Amino acid sequence: MGRSPDSRPDRSDESGRDRPRATGAVRLSDVAAAAGVASMTVSRALNQPELVSERTRERVQRAVIETGYVPNRVAGALASSRSRMVAVLVPTVAHSLFADVVQSITDALSVNGYQVLLGLTGYQTQDEATVVETVLSRRPDAVVVAGTRHSQATRARLKAARVPVVEIWDMSDDPLDMLIGFSHHAVGRAVADYLLGCGYRRFGQAMADDPRSHERAEGFNDRIMEAQQARPHDGIDVITRWAEIPATLVGGRTAAAAVLLDMPDCEAIVCSSDTLAMGVIAEAQSRAMVVPQTLAVMGFGDMSFAAATWPALSTVRIDGAEIGRLTATHLLNRFDGGEPDSDSDIIDIGFEIVPRQTTLSGAS
């Protein structure tokens, strides 16, 4: 049975204008109807505002707000081959260092009209491969990815995408494209040198079970082995115990307990993060061990709480914000037509040992 005209739903507002459809995305024509102008005028007001009068721009902007219209950037991207989107892939944002990198990249790119698509890859190459495949289907203008250890499939996909790629947070002899980071192996060696210089000889490592922590542990062990060979009668030794990822205080306490069980005379415990280091300190305090006089503790990351704890945490500082800033700068240069440069496109930002009160050299 047919419905009378009076039974049709009312789609007009109090001004008599048609309201947008109750379902589906608001269209450009909906904005044009609300503003009382042609669709072409709306398009110009949004994309080339200098071509329309101020009065018309205001009418269009009011209509955009009224209708909730969001421009369809996908169609524009198909026409221009630009999505104005950069995919940033990091293992986690639970760690403030990665959060600093993401925020710095986002701030620098947004000023230039680019938005960040964030992907969390975890610490397994298969998880990273899945995320990479997904974000590439969105056709980003560039990809930023933490780390240089990728599966063959991931490397092939990133190269085939033919967009700028920035690997961050690592160093490598075979980067995909641009590389901005530091050597984790060198961090491990530098920490060993620092603690040996403090006079410690019996070391434990409480390390998260992820690739970058493994590299730092390897660098530390290599340097300790050299010291053992050079000074065989000094009793220099090291043991390593691994904590589950992501790093937690509980993980730090558990790893510290394992170290102290197997090396009761341990003098210093090196940690792969400040979070684990706080767990180690808690475990030491629960055993009435005085930090640093009985047990020294070394962190990594110089997180916001490291200087405010008691005792203040000795650690390694990485400038995550600078990594993000340099990443954005290099990407914007490529977007503007800059050519790849094997010298300037690989940057080692280095790191800094920060002595504080949890090691004897910082106790004064």
Q: What is the pLDDT of residues 215-224, one digit of tens each?
A: 999 999 999 9
CATH architecture of the domain with range 184-317: 3-Layer(aba) Sandwich (3.40)
Average pLDDT value over all residues in the chain: 89
Give domain limits for the chain: 5-71, 84-182+321-348, 184-317
Comparing 5-71 with 84-182+321-348, is the CATH topology the same?
A: no
Residue 41 CA, distance from chain mean position: 41
Can you tell me the distance from the alpha carbon of 208 to that of 217, in angstroms, rounded to the nearest whole number? 10
Can you tell me the distance from the alpha carbon of 123 to that of 169, in angstroms, rounded to the nearest whole number? 13
**Exposed, middle or buried, 246 (CB in 10 Å: 0-12/13-18/19+)?**
middle
Q: What is the pLDDT of residues 118-150, one digit of tens each?
A: 999 988 888 999 999 999 988 999 999 999 999
Can you tell me the distance from the alpha carbon of 358 to that of 360, in angstroms, rounded to the nearest whole number? 7
Tell me what the mean pLDDT of segment 321-328 comes to. 97
pLDDT class for 94, splitting at 50, 70, 90? confident
Q: For the structural domain made of 84-182+321-348, what CATH number should be given?
A: 3.40.50.2300
266 token code pair: 């341990």
Can you tell me the distance from the alpha carbon of 64 to that of 67, in angstroms, rounded to the nearest whole number? 5
Is the model's pLDDT at 350 over the cut of 90?
Answer: yes
Question: Does the domain at residues 5-71 carry the CATH identifier 1.10.260.40?
Answer: yes
Among residues 198, 205, 194, 224, which one has the least CA distance to residue 293?
198
DSSP for 75-108, please give it: HHHHHHS---EEEEEES-SSSHHHHHHHHHHHHH
Is the model's pLDDT at 96 over the cut of 70?
Answer: yes
pTM above 0.75, yes or no: yes
Q: What is the pLDDT of residues 2-33, one digit of tens each?
A: 444 444 444 444 444 444 444 456 888 999 99
Tell me what the mean pLDDT of segment 294-322 comes to. 96
What lies within 8 Å, CB to CB, of 113 at 6+ separation is: 84
Supply the pLDDT for residue 73: 55
**78 vs 332 pLDDT, higher one:** 332
Supply the pLDDT for residue 16: 43
**What are the strands of the beta sheet with 237-243, ordered from one edge?**
237-243, 202-208, 268-271, 296-298
Q: What is the pLDDT of residues 237-265, one digit of tens each?
A: 999 999 998 899 999 999 999 999 999 99
pLDDT class for 80, splitting at 50, 70, 90? low
Q: What is the pLDDT of residues 226-236, one digit of tens each?
A: 999 999 999 99
